[in-house]
Structures are given as structure tokens and as C-alpha cells.
Amino acid sequence: MPAATIDDGRICHMESANGQAAEPGGRGSIAIQFVDDAVSVARRRGLAIAPMLAAAGIAPARLAQPRARVTVASFGRLWRALADAMDDEFFGLDAHPMRRGSFRMMCHATIGAATLEQALRRQIRFLGLVLDDQRACLTRDGDIAVVVVEARRGAVPLFAYGTVMTLLLGLSCWLVDRRVPIASLDFAAPEPRHAAEYRVLFGERTRFDAACTRLAFDAAALALPVQRRAEDLDEFLTEAPANFLVRYRNPHSFAARVRRRLRELPPEDWPDFDALAKSMRTTASTLRRRLDEEGQPYQAIKDALRRDLAIELLADAGNSVLDVACRLGFAEASAFHRAFRRWTGASPGAYRDRTNLRAG
């Protein structure tokens, strides 16, 4: 790949299709399949997962609904609940538990690094001390930096590989206070039914059934200076992992720019496409072409925003279903019911009742 600076638009375009996830300051939601993956080991061990799910604002019945989604905050609470119950911040996915407090120590080990390269090498070294089933290494291949993760004891579940990448990327982006663009990410695991959700998190160049798990990104990023200091750490850890599950995504894509513009307005005031293009100082044909290239047509962006807003608003018992429908710009409650069922597989009322959100 040609050499480029980390802010080069060509590099940013590599992840432009990642626009389904929320960018800084935005909302987002997590597919129910990730929740099911997170509790899988706890379930096999016979732990009572229902109370943990309820405490996180997720009803066990949601696991049987393939289109269900949960808020990022709920997934973060579940992550912490599982870590407490299992004394393992890695969901029991490795032969050696990642004891509670390990991620804090990993952060302390990297906070004093001078550059991203130094910080990333420290992260990899730390994970090598606490995990037995995977071993990572950082290398360079010309203008590309590569993190390879190899299985050491048989097959590694896809979710375990994904969790390692989430930890490495989330902490790295926070340390340098910016998104690290992903050129490609290959997983040495079969492609799941919810492969599209992995591409939401890691970008369209996420592939499966690979010979090895391999993350590639622009080597210029390795020289980025670490911006964070020890006094920043407590706030980061208090908000983790929700703060890096959706925060560091491509903010420069056209889809991200459209979402930011829509979030500035109540849904009933969202512009039509021509007015939107004019407000972004481009033509409708150009905007449509760029959104098509990113795999994010305008209607899909609006639907995803309304879906995530609906999930968030329904979490507040003070909002009636009719209130939510009105706030989302639906002229009739029946139209909102149909749309919500299409998005999640359940009616708004059933979604709220089954999720038992007050338990959180």
C-alpha cells in the first residue's frame, strides 16, 4: 500500500463502511448475538445468568430473538457483571482466567508509553502473561503494521479473537486519543450468521475462515504519541467497556457526517435527501454515490438512528410507547409498531416488558 499519513482521506476511506457503529458522542446498540456469546461459558458452567442479564437491563427471553439489540450501556454492565461472577474479564474464553483487575493493570502498564508502538507492544506482552490459548505479536510489512494472533491450544472461538481485538483497539485508540484506521481484519474462525455485526465493529474488510487472525493497519500510526496520562485512567475505567465499544469509529465518512447532522435535529425535522445534500455543500448525486460506496443509503442511516433512539427511550419507564413514537417522528403509533417489529422482531411494548429494564 502507498505510504500515507494517518489522516489521509484514502486511509480513512478504508473504514468508511464501518459507519453503522456510533462515532464519538453518538449512540449505538449491540446485536443480541454478542450477548449470547458473552454468556456462553457462564451458562455452560451452570452460573445463574438470568440475574446478571436482568441487572444489565436485558431479559433472558431476548436471547431467543435473533433481531434483538441492546444498548451499549447494557452490554457494558453485563460485561462487568460476568467479570465479577467469574472473576474473569475474558468471559471464561481462555484456559487461564483474566482475573478481575487485569485490564486495569494492562492500562497501567501502557499509560507511560511514549508512542502507540510502545504501548501496543506492552499490551501484547501483558496479554501473553494472562492468556494461555492465544499469543499475539506485532510486526511490520512495509507500510503496514500487522498484529497476528495465533491459537496455541486448539481452536479459539471467534468471540475470543474479537474480544482480544476489542481490548487492543479500544485501549490503543484511547491512549492516542484518536481512531486507528483498520486496513483489514482476518479471523481464523468460521463466518458466523451475524458476520455483518463484526463488520459494523471492525470495518467492511473483516473476513473469516482465514489461516490466522490478522489485524492490519497503517504503520504510520505506530509513531502516534500517547496522549493520556495516569490521572485520566480512573474516568476511562469507570466508563469501560462501553466507552470504546462504539466510540472510536471513522468520523470522516459521509455516513458519519450524515448521522451527526441528523442528531442535531429532532427526527420529525430530518431533511429530505436534496435538502440534506445542500446543507452538506454537495450535490444529491454525489452524496448518494458516496453513501452507496460506503454501503449506507440514507434510509438505512435514518432507520438505524431511529432504532437505537427507540431502544434508548424505551429504557426510560417514564416514556410511553406513544411518547417514543412521537419523539421519533412517526405520525401514527401503528407505523412505529410496524417499524420497531421490523428492526427488532418484537413490538415496542413487548420489548420493554420482556427486557424488564427496571431491573437494571
User: Do 323 and 183 have their domain in common?
Assistant: no
Check whether residue 33 and residue 106 sit in a common domain.
yes
| DSSP of 128-164 | HHH-SSEEEEEEEETTEEEEEEEESSS---HHHHHHH
Mark whether 192 and 51 lie in a shared domain.
yes
Separation between Cα atoms, residue 300 and residue 231, nearest integer Å: 40
- Taking the C-alpha atoms of residue 42 and residue 39, their distance in angstroms, rounded to an integer, is 5
Burial of 279 (0-12, 13-18, 19+ CB in 10 A): exposed
> Within a domain: residue 198?
yes
Is residue 206 in a domain?
yes
Same structural domain, 13 and 45: yes
In a domain, 117, yes or no: yes
Same domain (yes/no): 350, 225? no
pLDDT at residue 14 above 70? no
Domain span at residue 232 reads: 9-245
C-alpha cell at 54: 436482568
Residues 208 and 262 in one domain: no
Of the three residues 245, 279, 308, the one that is the final residue of a domain is 245
Overall pTM > 0.75 = no
pLDDT bucket at 125, cuts 50 / 70 / 90: very high
Same domain, 61 and 95: yes
Average pLDDT estimate for 177-206: 87
Residue 35 lies in a domain: yes
pLDDT at 93 over 80: yes
Domain-located, residue 149:
yes
CB-count burial class (<10 Å; 0-12, 13-18, 19+) for 81:
buried
The tally of domains found in the chain comes to: 2
Can you tell me the mean pLDDT for 6-20? 29
Residues 175 and 87 in one domain: yes
